[in-house]
Amino acid sequence: MDPSEEVFKSIKESGIDFVVSVPCANLQKLIPMVDSDPDIIHVPATREEEGIGICAGAYMGGKKPAIMMQNSGMGNSINALASLNRLYNIPLLIIISHRGIEGEPICAQVPMGEKTPQLLEVLDIPAYKPHLAQAKKTIEKATKKAFEEGKQAAILLSIGFWRES
Amino acid sequence: MIRYGALEILAEKEGDKDTLIIANIGLPSKELYEIYDRKANFYMLGSMGLSSSIGLGLALARPDRKVLAIDGDGSVLMNMGSLATIANQHPDNYLLVIIDNGAYGSTGNQITATAGLTDLKEVALGAGVRNVAMVSDKSDLKEKLDTMDNGVLVVKTEPGNKKVPVIKLCPADIIKRFMEISSPPSHSR
């Protein structure tokens, strides 16, 4: 089982048809898969907060959006997630490559990586942390709940997740 | 011309059409609400900087509809990467109108970088937007709104606000009635 393929299949099965991406090394296989899918509009953004706005607009136009980013981008997105998504009940699937935790070789990733789960908790955004074997089921369930309830759902994909196969 | 005058022309030109309008946070939303409230106006109440991005997402989701986002110079400066993304997506149904009064109008008219050396028309061109124009009087603005379907239109105005009341709609009402117009029927809430 390939982690990138599992996430891609899960997004497809969840009915996601609009994806904004900001790169992470762990997303390097997934981003081209999304980009080459004719049924998904893919918009590379310059910064995560910008992407949150693009996804909100896409939702208002009838799309089912997701954003893919590294957890550092959470810090760049907090105001938008609160004063746009939460204020207007705009749903969003947030696929996060979670750096700065066990297995992280770069020290600069650690402070933000450690705080990411707490930041999501403060924002009342549920964080799902699936192993590869449950990834598809978890992503589908989280997406369904978010879009039915007008909320946001985060999928935290650890360093270990990307090394599973 | 102050922003209120520019918004009056915008409302006159686009108000009775089915153009979807995203109105920037603060006084632009409040002023537009007073000039011409309509279901197809989405009023931002938070998330400064994201008007251009919300408009882009909407335009890409609805290529069959004309989308117009009203932004401010301070907000565009806060999210300048947005111009690069708009340039590279280049939706032909999306017009970004930047009302550039050189001031943070909603917070007491502190000057912005465009009151100094920054030129948002040049920034948009440098970002790669193909269709860019700048106007500073009412008749040129009317003409551009008749002829420009997409790209970035910078409207130079003087700083200054009209005293307008707060928007009486709650966020849930704003998005519900907007999506009755902006979203295909199966997605309306």
pLDDT tens profile B11-49: 999 999 999 999 999 999 999 999 999 999 999 999 999
Domain boundaries, chain A: 1-158
Q: To probe the interface with B, which of A41, A42, A46 has the most B CB atoms within 10 Å?
A: A46
**Residue A76 burial by Cβ neighbours in a 10 Å radius (0-12, 13-18, 19+):** middle
**Least Cα separation, residue B21 to chain A (angstroms):** 11
Query: Which among A57, A83, A88 is the nearest to B57, CB-wise?
Result: A57
CA nearest neighbour of B56 among B127, B159, B134: B127
Task: Give me chain B's average pLDDT, please.
Answer: 96
Name the residue of chain B whose CA is nearest to A54's CA: B57
Tokens of B147: 């002829």
Q: Do B59 and A57 touch (CB under 8 A)?
A: yes
Q: Which amino acid is located at B141 in the chain?
A: L
Ordered per-residue pLDDT tens for chain A, 165 residues: 899 999 999 999 999 999 999 999 999 999 999 999 999 999 999 999 999 999 999 999 999 999 999 999 999 999 999 999 999 999 999 999 999 999 999 999 999 999 999 999 999 999 999 999 999 999 999 999 999 999 999 999 999 999 987
Domains and CATH numbers, chain B: 3-182 (3.40.50.970)
CA nearest neighbour of A140 among A1, A15, A52: A15
Q: Average pLDDT, stretch B70-81?
A: 98
Tokens of B175: 């998005």
pLDDT value at position B58? Answer: 98
Q: Do B57 and A65 touch (CB under 8 A)?
A: yes
Share of chain A above pLDDT 70, in %: 100
ipTM: 0.97
Residues β-bridged to residue B156: B100
Q: Which superfamily is assigned to A1-158 in CATH?
A: Thiamin diphosphate (ThDP)-binding fold, Pyr/PP domains (3.40.50.970)
Grouping H, G, I as helix, E, B as strand and the rest as coil, residue A114 is: helix
Share of chain B above pLDDT 70, in %: 98
pLDDT value at position B186? Answer: 63
- Give strand ranges (E) for A24-145: 41-44, 65-70, 92-97, 127-128
Measure the CA dihedral A60/A125/B84/B117, to 10°.
Answer: 110
Residues β-bridged to residue B152: B96, B132
Interface list for chain B against chain A, based on CB atoms closer than 8 Å: 22, 42, 44-47, 49-62, 65, 79, 81-82, 84-85, 88-89, 171-172, 174-175, 178-179, 182-184, 186-187, 189
pLDDT tens profile A131-162: 999 999 999 999 999 999 999 999 999 999 99
Q: What count of other Cβ atoms lies within 10 Å of the Cβ of residue A75?
A: 14
Q: To probe the interface with A, which of B43, B54, B76, B175 has the most A CB atoms within 10 Å?
A: B54
